[in-house]
Structure formats: C-alpha cells, structure tokens
Amino acid sequence: MKTIAIIPTIKEELLRPNEYFLSFMEQLPQQNQIQTELLFILAKQADRYSQGKSSSIPLDKAEEIMESILFVLGVQLKSYPTTTQALAQLQEEPLESLYKSGLQLIQKKITSLKRFQKQLIRNLLDTPNIYYRSTIIDGINGFFQLYQPQFTAQKIHITADYPILIGRPQLDGIEFIEQYLQAIAAENAFCIRFSSKAIHHLLCGLTPEYTQIPLNLLEPVLLSAIGLTLVHQSCATLNLTNDQLIQLQQFFLPQSKEEILQSLNEALLVVKRAMNIPQSAIGYAQSCLPKLAKSIHTAVSMNTLNQLFLIPSIPETKVEIMFSYEDRMDNQSYQQLLENILQADTIEEKLSLIFHQISSIPDLFDLILEAEFTSSELESIVSVLPDPVRIALLSQYPNGGYFLQENEQLLYQALQKERSHHES
C-alpha cells in the first residue's frame, strides 16, 4: 500500500489533456514517492534503450523517455471511469504496474486503429484533393511504422496535413491519431452520402486548384446542404445559386449567433433524414456548428457569405466548349437531344448533353428557350459559356429585357447576372 495522502477529489478542470499525468500529480500533496518511482521506471527504460550497453544515455534522450513515461501513465489514468477511481489506483498500485498497463492499453489502441483505418479506406470519399487520401493512407501508415510507445509514446511523427473541421486535436501520440482518425471518419461518413462529382464541382467554386490545397472538405459540403435546406431546396445537389445566396443573407441578417446556431441545428436534422446520414457523422457535425455559426454571423455583417456558401463551378466543360454559327444539327438529332435533356435529372447531366452534342450558337439558343430550364439551371449553363458566346446570346436582346416571353426573360436575367459578376 502506498502512502500518498488521500484528498477528496481531483479538480478535473485543472487536468491538461496532453499532460494528463503531470497535471494529475500536481494536485497531490505528497509527490516524493511518485517521483522516486518515476526515476526507477526511467532507469529501466534507459537500460532497454541502450540494450544494456551503457549505464547512461544523453540528457535529451532521457528527458524524451521521461515524457514518454508520463504520457503512458496519463493514458492509463484516463482509462478509469472517474478521477476518483484513477486516484485510488494510483494509491494502491505500484507505478510500474500502472505503466505496464498503460503500454498494453496503447498496444490495443494501435491494433484497433489499424483495423479502423482499413475500414475507413474501403469507403473513402473519391476526391482529387491530394491531401485527403495521402494523409489518411500514407500519413497514418507512416505513424504506425515510426511509433515506439516504449520510448517515444508522446510522438506523432507525421504532419497530419489534412485539416479536420473540428480543429487539430490538442493531444499527443496515439491519442492524437485516435481522435484525428475518428474525426476524419465522421467527416468521410457525411461526405460520401453526396455525389463525389457534386462535391468536386462545389469545391471548384472555391478554386479549381483546390486539389492541390490542404483544405477541409466537409465544411463547404455541410454548409451547402444546410443552405439549400434553409431555402427549401433539395440538399443532395449541392448547387446553391446566387439568388439563393441572397435569400440566405436576408435569412441570417436579423439573427444573433445563438439564433444562427439554432437554425443550423434544425436544418442539419433535415439533412440527416434526407441523406440518411449516420448519427456518428451528425454528432460530429453538430459539434462543429458553433464554429460555423460564428463564421456565418461575421460573414453576414461583412456581406461575404459567398466565401462560406460556395456556388458550384464546372471547370471540365469550360475547356471543351466551342461554338460557331455553322454546323447546325439536323432536326431529328436536335429533337432527340431536346427529349434527352427534358428527361435528365440533374444539371450535370444536362450540361454534359449540351456541350457534347451542340456546336452551333443558333442551336444552343433554340435549345435554351425550348428545354424548360429553371432559373438556377440557366445560371449554371451561362456560367460555363465562353465570353463570345454569352455576348452573342445577349445580342439577341437589343431592347434589353422588354417584351420577352418568360423563358427569354430567365435567360436574359442569367446573362445579365453573369456579366455583372464578371465586371465586379
């Protein structure tokens, strides 16, 4: 039995997650015995490190091993349901016994996380962002290869380049990797409920070079899905329009941060039901909402909501679009194309049909007026047209938007909005 004086409670608010054992020990009135036992463990670990070849090791290495010992003991103390039980074990068990139990617990975590990572990789979001896949596969594999809990249990070894939405874990060693992987898994579980192509187009709305940038993928997806829900549109498409962005600005403008947070939470539950998102991913998303509510509140006041709620862009169509006043389609081909577009479910399908089959400006103009496109669909089409084609279409309206039929008015408004966007 140890002689550590019994104290009523450990103040949990004083415990530091990344220095758990040290901050635990600081609250004990008598520390001499623990310090003696720590030096005993250090001597044994130093001997193992030198493989018995030397009675001493460099000071910096000794300090590193002591940090590792403290980390392992912290992992073990955290495993008890309460700090009262942790204190009881610290009083009753030899410190070396707790240390060995901590090493065994870390080894179990390593085994469990390796299995968890493999499951995650099997269902990984298909994205061209190089930091997402490389971090989850190469980065985490690198950690497992380099990790030595016997001597450097507190080390992370990797840069963990992919930024998770909840923020970088303020932990070390295996605890960092555990929390980091769990966060990525929750983000991945949310994102894979949406089309990878829709996510790609959404992120291209930020910049087509997003593939080479270490940025969080969940935030724009989550905000787009919530934004569409708040304007009573299907969240599956991730295709907010400029008009809907104006609606969101007006919706959030009178709200406080607390009211915005409530609106986000309510919309998220609708997204959950619509997309069948697992509760683990929803719970994680909910923990991120206070951060997003604060960002939205600031963006609304600065009129920069478009930096949070992205408007999708389809860059792959821009390099392929070439039109002329010649090469008109024959009537049968044109009618078949028109029918296929009317039957298509998404704007992506409609854009693909248009830009792979039409090469004539007159055909394009006729199709736009006859295919019953919605206002948001016309904005998407116009946004990917080359400037000369937009100018050619605008030239069809020398008197502006007067005396136009409804479909022509929608086209004219989309063209004018795109021109204003380019001029601003």
> Which pLDDT score is estimated for 324?
60
Sign of the alpha-carbon torsion through 125, 129, 135, 141: positive
Q: Which helix (H) or strand (E) holds 122?
A: helix 95-122
- Of 173-187, 309-323, 363-377, give the lowest mean pLDDT range: 309-323
Residue 320, pLDDT > 70, answer no
pTM listed for this prediction: 0.75
Cα separation, 132 vs 127, whole angstroms? 8
Start-end of H helices in 276-405: 279-302, 315-318, 331-343, 347-357, 361-370, 375-383, 387-394
What is the rounded average pLDDT of the residues 38-43? 95
What is the rounded average pLDDT of the residues 334-351? 86
Confidence of residue 410 (pLDDT cuts 50, 70, 90): confident
Q: Across all residues in the chain, what is the average pLDDT?
A: 89
Residue 113, pLDDT > 70, answer yes
Confidence of residue 357 (pLDDT cuts 50, 70, 90): confident
Cα separation, 95 vs 75, whole angstroms? 13
Cα separation, 181 vs 114, whole angstroms? 10
